[in-house]
């Protein structure tokens, strides 16, 4: 897997709008409407990037596996998001990439 393909996925997260998250990757195209309520476990929260990356219980195992090292150091969600979306190492890039791909698979949109 080329680093450029992974960066492309992260870039799509970075440029996602307030209302739509579009991700095209090797597993297909996913469009997430952030105005829709997350249906998983009756979260009753909008399916935003912050919800998917930090909050939704569906991805708890994935989050512990891939993101915990990055997330431990910060408290504020907006800062976490900025920190995540600008990976500082290949390891961070890989972790975020695999989190996103596995989360999208779980989402089955």
Which residues contact Zn ion (rule: CB under 5 A)? 38, 40, 43, 56
Closer to Zn ion by Cβ: residue 38 or 103: 38
Sign of CA dihedral 70, 47, 97, 65: positive
Nearest approach, Cβ of residue 8 and Zn ion (Å):
25
Nearer to Zn ion, 56 or 70 (CB): 56
Q: Which residue has the tokens 């998917």?
A: 52
Q: Which two tokens stand for residue 24?
A: 């095209």
- CB of 31 or CB of 86, closer to Zn ion: 31
Three-state DSSP at 84 gives helix
Q: Residue 42: which region, alpha, beta or left (left: phi > 0; alpha: psi -120 to 50)?
A: left
**Smallest distance, Zn ion to C-beta of residue 56, A:** 3
Question: CB of 82: closest distance to Zn ion in angstroms?
Answer: 22
């Amino acid at each position: 897997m080329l680093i450029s393909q992974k960066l492309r996925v992260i870039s799509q997260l970075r440029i996602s709008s307030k209302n739509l998250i579009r991700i095209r990757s090797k597993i297909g195209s996913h469009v997430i409407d952030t105005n829709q309520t997350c249906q998983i476990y009756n979260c009753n929260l909008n399916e935003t990037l912050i919800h998917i990356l930090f909050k939704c219980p569906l991805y708890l195992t994935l989050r512990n596996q891939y993101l915990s090292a990055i997330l431990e150091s910060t408290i504020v969600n907006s800062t976490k998001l900025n920190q995540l979306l600008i990976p500082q190492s290949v390891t961070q890039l890989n972790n975020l990439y695999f989190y996103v791909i596995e989360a999208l698979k779980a989402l089955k949109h």
